Structure 1
Amino acid sequence: MGFFPVCLQLEKRRCVVVGGGEVAWRKVEGLLACGAAVKVISPQLQENLARYREAEEIDWLAREYREGDLAGAFLVIAATDDQEVQARVHAEAEQGNLLLNVADVPKWCNLILPAVVRRGEMTIAISTGGASPALAGKLRRQLEGSFGREYEILLRLLAALRPLVLARGGDHRENKRLFKALVAPDLAAWIREERWDLLKEHVHNTLGGDEVLACVNELQRGY
């Protein structure tokens, strides 16, 4: 059966990573990017994880995993090359009904970590359901070339304009029409090409009001 795609709010939630090598580092990096409270359980840490520890960005339990170490966790990642440890982590997570990803063992996962492209608040996730992480990685690299920093700027603009529209008190149907009309042209291309004149003209024609132009001007200054 397939996995249900979902985005999790991990800010300040306890996430436990069992393992201290390269795979664990990549998982921790993604968790920290989401503001998670990360605890790493491993006798040793590879150099990047050690830097996180020195910067007090992660908690480190400097020993092998023991049963009970997952208490209080929201999400667990088993990222060791020890099959016996992976199995014990899986057993405890199952008993506690925890979200679990076991590196390279899809049958023990109730959570698949997709390959991700992030541009500010925009997240594009690619998953093969654990069948081929290599293919997911290849597709991620292709998407990175197609979606540049202009999408981060575009989302900032749309996020700034949304409350201005809602504050006007229009009904749901009218607001939906305006938001749809707003993103109809290729706004990202205009930002990438620095055609701020076209962007301002379109935003003003669609929404009207000097306050919407002020949003575009502010983004232009910071681009």
Structure 2
Amino acid sequence: MYPVMLHLCSKPIVVIGGGAVAERKVVGLLDGGATAITLVSPEITDTLRELVREGIVVWQQKQYEKNDLEGAFLIIAATDCASVNTEVLQGKAPNQLVNIADNPGQSDFQVPAVYRNGDLSIAISTGGASPMLAKKIKRDIAHLFDEEYNEFIKFLSMARQRILAEISDPGKKRVLLREVMSDRFLSSGSRAELFEELLRRR
């Protein structure tokens, strides 16, 4: 497995199915920044209907056909019919990535459990062996990386931009980038002042 973080904005995504599993997949895609999701299913859940009504996703109220996959970047087969999911897998083009919700072993990619806190995203996967364990680890991580880390990441983003823009010496850049990552900055209630002091001493 090769873990990646995908930019999904404007990428065409097709989800085959409209039940609870499809709903979870769609919500996860939206959380990940997807903006061009098409649902293909005769029926969908109330939550998915609301997303359709709000114009967040597009719904094709029909049975799956092979041409439904044309142009898709990602495809998720999340029906309760194994034969339909297999048809989706067989109908994809070589350059398309397919996830079969009930068969991770045949999928091109697996969807990990994801802990999100602002700009912090941590993906957890057990290679399909135990989704329940992945969810448990996600809960454990939530206690370790609380809101303080979200604020710290915002600070690090600002600090990195300043260092790259204002410091020309590569060695000094590395030293400063390591310094702002220290526990001193993580636990400080006055990071901005500490950072300005650090730059003055560069």
What range is the shorter-chain TM-score in?
over 0.9
Residue number among 79, 94, 114 corresponding to 2:112 in the alignment: 114
Greater mean alpha carbon deviation, residues 145-154 or residues 126-135: 145-154
1:53-202 paired onto structure 2 within 5 Å:
53-93=52-92, 95-185=93-183, 187-188=185-186, 190=187, 196-197=189-190, 199-202=191-194
The alignment-based identity, stated in percent, is 37
- Kept in 1, the 8 Å contact 2:13–2:72? The answer is yes
Secondary structure (helix, strand or coil) at the match of 1:68 reads: helix
Greater mean alpha carbon deviation, residues 29-38 or residues 111-120: 29-38
Distance 1:187 1:118, change over 3 A: farther
Distance 1:187 1:47, change over 3 A: farther
Secondary structure (helix, strand or coil) at the match of 2:66 reads: coil
1:22 maps to amino acid: A
Quote the offset at 1:59 in angstroms.
Answer: 0.6
Q: Distance in 2 between matches of 1:151 and 1:186?
A: 13
Q: Distance in 2 between matches of 1:111 and 1:150?
A: 32
**Is 1:51–2:53 an aligned residue pair?**
no
Query: What is the count of residue pairs matched by the alignment?
Result: 200
Q: Distance in 2 between matches of 1:172 and 1:109?
A: 43
Q: Distance in 2 between matches of 1:109 and 1:25?
A: 19
Q: Distance in 2 between matches of 1:13 and 1:81?
A: 26
2:189 maps to amino acid: W
Corresponding residue number in structure 1 for 2:197 = 205
- Kept in 1, the 8 Å contact 2:125–2:134? The answer is yes
Quote the offset at 1:35 in angstroms.
Answer: 2.6
Distance 1:164 1:83, change over 3 A: same
Secondary structure (helix, strand or coil) at the match of 2:183 reads: coil
Runs of 4+ with deviation above 3 angstroms: none
Q: Distance in 2 between matches of 1:172 and 1:35?
A: 34
- Kept in 1, the 8 Å contact 2:159–2:195? The answer is no
Secondary structure (helix, strand or coil) at the match of 1:10 reads: coil
Quote the offset at 1:27 in angstroms.
Answer: 0.9
Corresponding residue number in structure 2 for 1:213 = none
- Kept in 1, the 8 Å contact 2:16–2:40? The answer is yes
Distance 1:164 1:138, change over 3 A: same
1:119-156 Cα distance to aligned partner (Å, 9 max, x none):
11211010011111111111111111221122221111
Quote the offset at 1:107 in angstroms.
Answer: 2.0
Q: Distance in 2 between matches of 1:152 and 1:112?
A: 26
TM-score, normalising length: structure 2: 0.92
Q: Distance in 2 between matches of 1:170 and 1:92?
A: 53
TM-score, normalising length: structure 1: 0.84
Q: Distance in 2 between matches of 1:186 and 1:30?
A: 35
1:9-35 Cα distance to aligned partner (Å, 9 max, x none):
111101111111111111111111233
Quote the offset at 1:104 in angstroms.
Answer: 1.9
